Amino acid sequence: MKQYLVSLIFLLALWLTIIIVSPKTGRTELVSDNEFGVPHQLSPNSNIDGKNMAPAIPSRCALQPEINKQTWNQFTDIEFQPITLSRFRKLGNEVNPSTGEPINRQSPFRLFNNSQPIESIAVAHPTNYGERFLNDLYGKPAQYAPIVVIHETVGSARSAINLFRTPHPLDSQQVSYHSLIKRSGEIVYIVPPDMRAYGAGNSVFESENGRETVKTSPKHPPSVNNFAYHVSLETPRDGNNNRRRHSGYTKAQYQSLAWLIAKTGVPDYRITTHKAVDRSGQRGDPRSFNQQNFLKFLQAQPRTKEIMIDCQPPDSSVETLQNPKSKID
């Protein structure tokens, strides 16, 4: 009998080690092993057992790109620090910016059994993202209202994240998204929202006020990266090729995409795709994207600004112009 009780206690302890408690609802959920060796669900101050480390990431814009900027392979002493979920999304009580009323997390929508999507962190290597700038390469104001650009991975989530976490000293190889949504609906945060992810190359956003793009490098065409939030959907297996269509994305992905984008506060008319902003004619993602399905989920979400795409001016900067614009080179 005693041996039976000891075995029972051991099994109970083992079971508890794989239960994760949601930080918002207190819901417990059994989850499978994470591909990246970190827990699926994060507590607000979790740094995922020290696995997610990043250089001291500034929360302020840089004033202007440096024409002769030092390359990352010349840095030999980088201090890495833990990074937490709150660096990617504000936590706590949020207020609906339209009404000023506190948001009730349990209504009016239901998502994943009255809960939020699973969130995790896989920080990109610092060669694969940079600061946002107040001015472009030539000193002209370079601030636009934020946009959201939707992509797809054209490969597995694992391969995409491994690419982003690999050092790329050469500018031509640097790439990242701010976040990625796996087939299961899990959201993986990769680059803090107030930083500049390298999600689009030669690109322009066509707005009602004209063409919006910013030149930040002397070697490359202007792009939307300086004011974009890049989010990518994991491609289905039958889409890991150059075909024009595939079987599409899961319901969980559309739900998580709507949940995530609603937290940026970006209006519908500034939500776009990689294909739409691309100027090279080589990008067609996200293929087989059901816009009607996405908008149905988006309209059910309260709009907040838990994900702050704008960054604060540097302490040494001069007065920032109101609604400044930059020109295409």
Average pLDDT over residues 43-57: 48
Q: How many domains does the structure of the chain reveal?
A: 1
Average pLDDT over residues 80-106: 67
CATH of the domain at 222: 3.40.80.10
Summarised one tens digit per residue, pLDDT across range 250-274 is: 999 999 999 999 999 999 999 999 9
Band the pLDDT of 28: cuts 50, 70, 90: very low
Task: Please state whether the peptide bond connecting residue 221 to the residue before it is cis, i.e. omega within 30 degrees of 0.
Answer: no
Domain-located, residue 312: no
Helix intervals (H) in the chain: 2-16, 157-164, 251-262, 274-277, 291-298
Kindly report the pTM of this predicted structure.
0.75
Band the pLDDT of 66: cuts 50, 70, 90: confident
Q: Of residues 303 and 106, which shows the higher confidence score?
A: 303
Domain-located, residue 5: no
Which one of 56-65, 281-290, 305-314 scores highest in mean pLDDT?
281-290
Domain-located, residue 210: yes
Residue 80: the pLDDT is: 63
Domain-located, residue 79: yes
Summarised one tens digit per residue, pLDDT across range 171-216 is: 888 999 999 999 999 999 999 999 999 999 999 999 999 999 999 9
CB atoms within 10 A of CB 119: 22
Of 261, 253, 61, whose CA–CA distance to 147 is shortest?
261
274 with 285: CB under 8 angstroms? yes
Summarised one tens digit per residue, pLDDT across range 289-305 is: 999 999 999 999 999 99
Q: 79-93, 106-120, 313-327 — which is least confidently predicted?
A: 313-327
Residue 172: the pLDDT is: 80
154 with 235: CB under 8 angstroms? yes
The proportion of the chain whose per-residue pLDDT surpasses 70, expressed as a percent, equals 66
Domain-located, residue 164: yes
Domain-located, residue 106: yes
Checking if the pLDDT of 100 tops 70, the result is: no
3-state secondary structure of 30: strand
Supply the range of the domain harboring residue 102.
32-298
